[in-house]
Structure 1
Amino acid sequence: MKIVSLIASFLRGVVETSLGAFYFLLHGKPRLVIILSHTRSGSSLLANLICSHPKVIGFGEAWIDYRTPVSILRLIGRTRLTTGSYKPSINIYLDKCLHKQITDSLRPFRICHPHFLFLTREPHATTKSIVAMCKTFDENKGQETDYANTYLAGRLMDLKRISLLVPPDSATHLSYESLIQNPDTTLARLTEVLQLASPLSSSYHVTKTVGVRRVGDFSDNIRSGQIVSSNATPSPSESLATDLTIQAYRDTLAHLRQRFTSISTDKPLNQ
């Protein structure tokens, strides 16, 4: 069975790459929107909002390891096959990277025009949400809080490191809080940043991968097709976030706001 799985994976890769090469030859360098963030950051909401634009195509986390330029072709092919959309008029592709798909080089992106969106969410609500996710899928049983803090602190430090690879004019920072609290202003600014001909809307089409494990959000709010304000942020006394996680968030947020243009309108965490 393992051999069959390997063969199937290889053939799928060939098909994705070939299809991606076709669209690459058809359009030339594609435009990419890459959401760089962490689990339970609101990345599925942001992806659905952007992918509802008529000139953008994507479905969530494609799980492409960006190691060589072929990775870009695979993203194009995988996105086309997963969404079932083959319209030649669409040439902006979206992916979100919440893990280690990008490591120590941006060389693969030389064959495209990428713009990176660094998305953050304050750690009190994030750790609570990660713990809830672990319990939903029965993962890290008995160690959900430890896992949430270890993952989040580590991922925040990864984002800070990756940001040093990205030219300041090729990335933008925004926060989940700004997207929820001031959607019209935030989406208007995002429309300008991504140079879209028509505005992004706070209503969106729900991608078919919503709820699919390891690809899209599983919560009910994401299925509504519109921005829904989440529950109030836990107070520091009720928070599951450790001091290390909170400090990692503060350091990364300050760094991102300094290095890139930030279109967030919320106030940074001060507790």
Structure 2
Amino acid sequence: MSGLALRESGKRGLGWLAGRAFAQCSYANCLFVLAHMRCGSTALSNVICSRPDISGYGETHVRHDGPDAPGRLAVNGLRRGGWRVSAPYQFDKILHSRLDRTAPPAFYDARAIFVVRQPEATIPSIVRLFAKLGRNEYRTQAEAADYYIERVGALAAMWHRFPAERRIGLTHGALLADPDAQLARISRALAIDPPLENTYRSHAASRRGGGGDPYVSARHSRIEPSLEPVAANAPPLDLPPATADEARRVFEQVAALFQQP
């Protein structure tokens, strides 16, 4: 057995043990942000993870592919300093379909906050981020658009799998236009008590190793209201028209789902 396989087997074994040791290691006691890169998910995650009743720090990259995953989530949080043994709930932010594509049925017992951002702002932002990081990924808008279209389409497919009372969706624009109102809306929809407050302390683990935004997160202690230019006023994407149209279509599809009861 290779070293990678041994590590994976060890993680699953620890996850299995944690799942039997801690009540919060079940999907029914999980809260997820399901989104895509560069949509404001780090700031929202920071607000959620600043609560004493929620364990987590941001994006863990745990693969949700079996019943031991909440236990692996706990082990990851313990290793990264985001575990609170007294907290009854666990948090994860999931931005890539490889992490939730084969999620078990119990995954949909969690509470889920869906977040999407218009492609005209998201796609260039992904390219700029990875260039700044010096990473050999998403070097072009075409590569970022492929990711965006796939991920937003996957979010649309997952939306109806969550019970209506355990899901809510919002756009990046709505969150930034009135953060307090959107946090109150999330709290009401998901029965979060006491309600979410627009204040946070950025966890160190959310700023390194892919846990969140490595540049902006630590500069703030709340979600600052602002307005994002509408698509009509944004610079045109450097994409074939059919690709740009598809990116806009999947965004509008998901945004419309969020308006449904």
Q: TM-score, normalised by structure 2?
A: 0.84
The aligned residue for residue 246 of structure 1 is 248
The aligned residue for residue 149 of structure 1 is 145
Query: Amino acid of the residue matched to residue 92 of structure 1?
Result: Y
Question: Any conservation in 2 of the 1:156–1:249 contact (CA below 8 Å)?
Answer: yes
The aligned residue for residue 196 of structure 2 is 200
The aligned residue for residue 47 of structure 2 is 49
Post-superposition offset of 1:125: 1.4
Distance in 2 separating the partners of 1:27 and 1:213 = 23
Post-superposition offset of 1:235: 5.2
Q: Report the secondary structure of 1:60's partner residue.
A: coil
Question: Any conservation in 2 of the 1:104–1:162 contact (CA below 8 Å)?
Answer: no
The aligned residue for residue 267 of structure 1 is none
Distance in 2 separating the partners of 1:93 and 1:141 = 30
Distance in 1 separating the partners of 2:69 and 2:120 = 35
Distance in 2 separating the partners of 1:105 and 1:6 = 20
Distance in 2 separating the partners of 1:55 and 1:142 = 36
Distance in 2 separating the partners of 1:124 and 1:9 = 38
Distance in 2 separating the partners of 1:163 and 1:141 = 28
Structure 1 vs Structure 2: percent identity of aligned residues? 23
Query: Amino acid of the residue matched to residue 59 of structure 2?
Result: E
Post-superposition offset of 1:143: 4.1
Distance in 2 separating the partners of 1:27 and 1:109 = 12
Seen in structure 2, the aligned counterparts of structure 1 residues 30 and 226 have a Cα distance that, compared at 3 Å, is same
Instruction: Report the more deviating stretch, 116-125 or 195-204.
Output: 195-204
Distance in 2 separating the partners of 1:28 and 1:127 = 34
Out of 67, 73, 89, the position equivalent to 1:92 is 89
Question: Any conservation in 2 of the 1:40–1:126 contact (CA below 8 Å)?
Answer: yes
Distance in 2 separating the partners of 1:218 and 1:256 = 29
Question: Any conservation in 2 of the 1:128–1:239 contact (CA below 8 Å)?
Answer: no
1:194-244 superposed Cα distances (whole Å, 9 cap, x missing partner): 323323221101112122132211222453222235684375461327222
Out of 62, 65, 78, the position equivalent to 2:63 is 65
The aligned residue for residue 107 of structure 2 is 109
Distance in 2 separating the partners of 1:165 and 1:28 = 17
Seen in structure 2, the aligned counterparts of structure 1 residues 244 and 83 have a Cα distance that, compared at 3 Å, is same
Question: Any conservation in 2 of the 1:17–1:77 contact (CA below 8 Å)?
Answer: no
> Structure 1: where are the runs of 5+ without partners?
262-271
Out of 146, 155, 160, the position equivalent to 2:156 is 160
Seen in structure 2, the aligned counterparts of structure 1 residues 20 and 138 have a Cα distance that, compared at 3 Å, is same
1:77-117 superposed Cα distances (whole Å, 9 cap, x missing partner): 322332253432x111111111122225541337xx51111
1:131-156 superposed Cα distances (whole Å, 9 cap, x missing partner): 11121123457942111111111111
Question: Any conservation in 1 of the 2:130–2:139 contact (CA below 8 Å)?
Answer: no
> Structure 2: where are the runs of 5+ without partners?
none
RMSD of the alignment, in Å? 2.7
Seen in structure 2, the aligned counterparts of structure 1 residues 103 and 248 have a Cα distance that, compared at 3 Å, is same
